[in-house]
Structure 1
């Protein structure tokens, strides 16, 4: 090989795109750095400070020189505090069921790695978080979309799951509250889906990273539906969303002990273990009395959610799909703007809508193609209320300016 020849990449990486949400967030932040007054509604990152007990615990850990390798599964006290935290939803986890990872995203990657043989299929409800299918592919699996009925609640049904199952199906992936739609499945809906999984001997991976952010309804953890369901369920979560600790990179897998041991073994050969300081920070947050503060934050985001829903209901040509009862997002159908013209271009896709909204109104949203919803955009309402209100005004003005 000469210096002029490119290094050949493995097939699994050669065509792997970067995260669309991360790319758009980076573009918006670059424009902001260049002095452009961009209102960034792309990020799923709460605009709150990291909770104080986490910061204080991290400072103490550094002062104590707690900066070495930890056990691959995580420090025992954090594994125990995570189990206690999860059990508030009615699960029965112990520390032995929990493995600490560098964020929920890594937890999902490990889960697919230990479960999937080459060619195994994973059922993924659409619309879905952009990374799910790529994680499945990297683990050797095959992502299979399960689409809800058009114009409905953006929730899948047991009948749709049954129709999607083949002899190769291994895993049903669930995400409630859901990214990008914000939909929240009821206990009855999750029970019906889990019953199908049990009937067909499927493993359930339940991504519950936004379990705290539920409005006007009740959160249900899949593993709390009963011992038979818990025995086939991997629960994924983390500190990022609830405790405003996205940069600390602490997540977890809670699963039957045999699965957890396998996840810890994989981690021992890859990341070794998550950051020792971040683990102590997470333990500090989980063992502090933060109920009042966290509930206050949830109330604040609920007010922003209501502001978005009200503002968009008054904008002709856009429509919020789904019930938007959880997480930080509303999912907006913009297909009625197709064929309309801005000051520079005619809109023919949600991607063009998002691009023109950024270039002409300086508002960043995420187009839905990578969420398997090409006629939609995702709007995050995590920014401060004044910026959110300004962004919504800009969206309304932009749509009103479109002409035939």
Structure 2
């Protein structure tokens, strides 16, 4: 009998970001001249003291099953570093922030429950909601609103079936950060709807160029139904260590731990030792690296906006630029192919210049594309040369 996918994943595929990244790697391995700005991964190394801590843990025999919800010392450090009066029992340690999100959805969603997601959103949100029987409720935002959900939009989207509002600040892909006033305004709406919980993905907390406020700081009255998602991947350049955490009410954390116990058990013991060192060791490199990201942001933003037909808002945080290519839709490539969508534009850039970009459709925002500036200055310079060349080819055919 031919294998048949389960209905839960019938329309699901590996994310477009991963597909593009892996395709670029394969092309380079085959000798093709390809440069990718598609991956959200810092180019900085994991800090030396973190690596030393992991090595010591291995030598000390810290390689056995850890507690399902995480090692007590790490859970305590996470609670202590977080905003608000949190205890270790309010923390779950997981195999990356992505698993935290999956655990929460698996533990809370019944078939048909709705999850509100402002677009643009990180690509995995939509599939994760569907995987666990939920219904994504996608709310388009605008450049005028700096890609942020408004209180009026939120109120209109809430129904008796709404289970979660999923917020990402700093945002992947837009780089926008909600101000305390904006979070408070959303909170004022949510306080009227006790059935709605908040999942605040704050994985880019330490990569910010304007002040950042955590959701529970701005709206402490919703702490009892808020899950904060965070981890070491982005700020501490530890993507491959696969270590994230969730902070929330004890009942939710217990339910998520039940799910995790049947899926992965505890996160890697060695990665937990490394994460503890990251949280309790020197922190000065965070500001240093953030300043370097800001210089890259400024360079990329200036040069993208200098290209006729492209425009981008200045990101508040994270390491992404999210330009519009709408003014180039309707143009033709040199071979006469019509550029009708953001995906067509990104395909043209790849084909003509060997530069990998991620189309906005992957984030629920057609007409835009994402560029990561978590790359070296020289790579960003090369990327801009390629992008400029690709657009010039289009402009000559408009």
What's the TM-score once normalised by structure 1's chain length? 0.95
Residue 234 (1) aligns with residue 227 (2): yes
Instruction: Say if 1:182 and 1:324, in contact at 8 Å, map to a contact too.
Output: yes
- Mapped partners of 1:370, 1:285: distance in 2: 32
Residue 45 (1) aligns with residue 36 (2): no
**How many aligned positions are there?**
394
Which of 285, 293, 312 is the equivalent residue of 1:301?
A: 293
Instruction: Say if 1:172 and 1:197, in contact at 8 Å, map to a contact too.
Output: no
Structure 1 SS opposite 2:230: strand
Which of 307, 327, 330 is the equivalent residue of 2:321?
A: 330
Structure 1 SS opposite 2:46: coil
Which of 149, 154, 159 is the equivalent residue of 1:156?
A: 149
**How far did 1:153 drift?**
1.4
Instruction: Say if 1:208 and 1:236, in contact at 8 Å, map to a contact too.
Output: yes
Instruction: Say if 2:8 and 2:131, in contact at 8 Å, map to a contact too.
Output: yes
CA-to-aligned-CA distance 1:186-228 (integer Å, 9 cap, x gap): 011011112211211110000000001111x211111122542
**How far did 1:142 drift?**
0.6
CA RMSD of aligned residues (A): 1.2
Residue 316 (1) aligns with residue 308 (2): yes
Instruction: Say if 2:230 and 2:246, in contact at 8 Å, map to a contact too.
Output: yes
Residue 65 (1) aligns with residue 58 (2): no
Which of 243, 251, 255 is the equivalent residue of 2:244?
A: 251
- Mapped partners of 1:151, 1:395: distance in 2: 25
Residue 146 (1) aligns with residue 142 (2): no
- Mapped partners of 1:14, 1:71: distance in 2: 34
**How far did 1:401 drift?**
2.2
Which of 376, 381, 388 is the equivalent residue of 2:380?
A: 388
CA-to-aligned-CA distance 1:223-254 (integer Å, 9 cap, x gap): 12254221110000111000000000000010
- Mapped partners of 2:28, 2:8: distance in 1: 34
**How far did 1:143 drift?**
0.5
**How far did 1:85 drift?**
2.1
Instruction: Say if 2:348 and 2:390, in contact at 8 Å, map to a contact too.
Output: no
Instruction: Say if 1:183 and 1:326, in contact at 8 Å, map to a contact too.
Output: yes
**How far did 1:92 drift?**
2.1
- Mapped partners of 2:33, 2:290: distance in 1: 27
**How far did 1:29 drift?**
1.3
* Aligned residue number for residue 100 of structure 1: 93
* Aligned residue number for residue 130 of structure 2: 137
* Aligned residue number for residue 275 of structure 1: 268
Instruction: Say if 1:205 and 1:234, in contact at 8 Å, map to a contact too.
Output: yes
Unaligned runs of 5+ in 2: none
Instruction: Say if 2:148 and 2:176, in contact at 8 Å, map to a contact too.
Output: yes
- Mapped partners of 1:225, 1:115: distance in 2: 24
* Aligned residue number for residue 190 of structure 2: 197
* Aligned residue number for residue 167 of structure 2: 174
**How far did 1:335 drift?**
1.6
CA-to-aligned-CA distance 1:43-81 (integer Å, 9 cap, x gap): 100100011121111100110111000110010001011
* Aligned residue number for residue 371 of structure 1: 363
Residue 218 (1) aligns with residue 214 (2): no
* Aligned residue number for residue 333 of structure 2: 342
Structure 1 SS opposite 2:332: coil
